[in-house]
Amino acid sequence: MIRATGVSKMFGLVRALNEIDLELGPGVTGLLGPNGSGKSTLLKLFAGQLRPDTGEVRLAGMDPFAQTAAMRRLGLCPEQDRFYEDLSGQVFVTALTRLHGFSAAEAQRRAFAAIDRVGMSRDAGKRMREMSRGMRQRIKIAQAIAHDPEVVLLDEPLNGADPVARADLIRLVASLGAEGRCVVVSSHVLHEVEAMTHRVVLIRFGRLRAQGDFLRLRELIEDRPYRIGIEVDAPRARAFAAALLELAHVRTAEVNDDTTLEITTTQLDAACQEVPEVARRLGLGLIRFTSPDADLESLYRYLMHDD
């Protein structure tokens, strides 16, 4: 649904993006990278707000910068707020939906449905200036989906939302992807992206650093074994550590006290299967089995912070 081929973008002497090749299909994709990495520039290219200096961008097979028909297929929730502050949320979403060519009645119907989907039905009559930041964020998402687009671009969609709203919006984003839409989410909050999807695109210094399922990507970092913290139900951590060192994928085993230890392994999946088997063989029960290296944050840390 989205394709970027050899895309570069300059701002004066600054190269914001450098030779990006990327294809995105149905489902949710997290767009990640530090400030200044080029995430917002890439989203603006997808949305047709910028034209690449080299290469090409295609959205549903069309050039989003030159072909206005692409806008009907696109929903955009920008990071910055740009509201008509004296309009109610309902009127605001209806007005933007009408711009996609719907009749007044159809635009109103779609606006009502989108506002209900983002959980704003009760407060949609408020003026935009009277809404909290979280409410305004929900309204922005409502206008992005009211016209039923195939591609939805969300730039920091959870900014300002309270914990309950964040949980609601995470479920909403995941459901949009499950419906077959191409949803791209740019966010700095990694655990929230992880709750939406395992598929990520990581950008650093304007270059594509990695893309794909972050669990599979993490496995490719062979020089960084997984750490696993283990707690057992009997004071036999030393004997357990010795038995685990016999496994081919276990590199180290460090005993912390009688019941806790930490191992490192090059194969997380194998460890998840074999460590419990070794525990059963020794007559031990596992109380805790956790890894700080098996999440999106660890992948991000290794790819973005290490030289």
Q: What is the mean pLDDT of residues 54-68?
A: 95
pLDDT in tens, 125-173: 999 999 998 899 999 999 999 999 999 999 999 888 888 888 999 999 9
Q: Residues of the chain with pLDDT > 70: what percent?
A: 99
Domains and CATH numbers, the chain: 2-217 (3.40.50.300), 221-305 (3.30.70.100)
45 phi-psi bin (left φ>0, alpha ψ -120 to 50, beta other): alpha
pLDDT in tens, 90-122: 999 999 999 999 999 999 999 999 999 999 999
pLDDT in tens, 234-259: 999 999 999 999 999 999 999 999 99
Instruction: Specify the pairing of strand 151-155 against strand 74-77.
Output: parallel
Strand ranges of the sheet holding 2-11, from the earlier edge strand across to the other edge: 14-24, 2-11, 54-59
The answer to whether residues 57 and 107 touch, using CB atoms and an 8 Å cutoff, is no
Tell me the two tokens of residue 158.
Answer: 């959870």
Question: What is the band of 306 on the pLDDT scale with cuts at 50, 70, 90?
Answer: low
* Res 303 pLDDT > 90: no
* Res 280 pLDDT > 90: yes
The CA-CA-CA angle for residues 144, 295, 255, to 5°, reads 165
The answer to whether residues 103 and 131 touch, using CB atoms and an 8 Å cutoff, is no
* Res 30 pLDDT > 90: yes
The CA-CA-CA angle for residues 161, 210, 185, to 5°, reads 20
Q: DSSP state, 26?
A: S
